[in-house]
Amino acid sequence: MDLTKLVFLLVLVCSIPVFHAYGQLDDKPPQGILRSGIVGVKLLDAYFGTSTEKMEVGPGDKNVPFTVEFANISTTDIVGIKGQLSLPTYFQSPQGINYPIQADSNTRATTGSNFHLTFYVDISDGALIKTYPGSVEIDYSRLKSSGVRQNSFQFTFTLPGESILNLKSLTPVITSITNNDVILEISNSGSATLSNVNIVLQNTDTSISSASVSTTNVEKVIFDQNYWKIGNINPNSAKTFSFNVFVPESLKNEPLRIPMKITYSNAHGDKQSLIRVADLYINGLIKPSIYGVKVIELSGKKTVIGEILNEGNADGLFGFVKLLPLGDSNIRESSQYIDEIEPDSPIPFNMPIESNGLLSFGEHDIRIIVSYKDAVRDEHTITYDTTITINPFADNTDYGSIIGGLIFLAFVIVIGYKLYSKGKIPFIKKGKIPYVSKKTES
């Protein structure tokens, strides 16, 4: 091989790595060197809310913030940032359907920092809870450079819907000195799902703030549970949970406010925590019983008497006692107003017996009904069925005297008639009416 060919081969072999390196630089420059195809701004996210908080919004909401997040990935700071948003027809400018949705930023976006533009939109009632496409066009200027640069970005965003949480009691009234079964309902009247709902009873000094201690007496009652795992609550639906609560005798005729800490994940997946209060009313216990029912003679009349004993801790209001006949009894229905039924003090009642026709002597089946109202004016009744015996009146009673007098009068009339018919009554002849003649003066 001659010297010329040898030199040519050496030059050719040495030039191959150079050509390969040149191709690398042309296709993909090393890190730290800006490529000619890269822009100075990068879109990061687009969502409903502000730069500090994502918001739950739904169909029909007006003038809600819509934020687009960017990053300045250029080598210089940028200023004079303005943007125009393009969204589907369900989303419009608050100024009207034909107005552009615009925003600007007075901040200076330094190299490597993030910045945002917040637009405001109206959401149509016909919008659906789903993901939509959108685009944004921004204008900005680089420091130490002349001219305005413009970039456009495509993105997708979600109309998340809005969750509206409410807590109420399905057992609005409970009773003192009683173990009460309480049912609470947690509902979501919004358009977004409440996820992973958990509820914790706030009934300790450490969980209730000093500002709320004076507004609740929950620490004075006894609960059998303090934590409930509810799960997910779909839009326009509700779930219930229950517990038992015992109320001591000292609490009656006053409200019971039960604070509950509710945690859940909203439509954006962010964990939320809030306090809701379930309000109940503590009714005093009214526990009447009827006893001592019997018949006596009072002022010449047969009278049903008895007593009512209230073993609770509150007065029964507007009390009435009613006497009803049962079976073939001919006793007439009657009633008596007894006013308040106070605790631990027997309340007597008495109702004179009236009858349909002549009162039948012997046994009568009757029903005693006691009705009253509690502190919230709900009416309650108790009944007592028994059998009473009505005996003939004793001779020494007024009624006996009247009967005896009538019998004696009838006997006298019969004897007189017989004497009259035989003409044996002095001065009276049968068939003639006696008269007294008048004396005349001469």
Collapse the DSSP code of 143 into the 3-class scheme (helix H, G, I; strand E, B; otherwise coil) and give the result: coil
Whole-number Å distance between alpha carbons of 245 and 253: 16
pLDDT band at residue 170 under the 50/70/90 scheme: very high
| Predicted confidence band of residue 360 (pLDDT cuts 50, 70, 90) | confident
Q: What is the pLDDT of residue 415?
A: 59
Predicted confidence (pLDDT) per residue in 85-105, tens digit: 999 999 999 999 889 999 998
pLDDT tens-digit profile of 205-226?
Answer: 545 444 444 457 888 899 999 9
**Structural domains of the chain ordered from first start:** 41-158 (2.60.40.10), 165-283 (2.60.40.10), 288-390 (2.60.40.10), 396-442 (no CATH)
- pLDDT > 90: percent of the chain: 64
Q: What residue ranges in 227-270 does DSSP mark as E strands?
A: 227-233, 237-246, 254-265
* Distance, CA of 302 to CA of 348 (rounded, Å): 16
Per-residue pLDDT at 212: 45
45-71 pLDDT, tens digit per residue, is 999 999 999 999 999 999 999 999 999
Q: For residue 98, which of 109, 107, 89, 106 has the smallest C-alpha distance?
A: 89
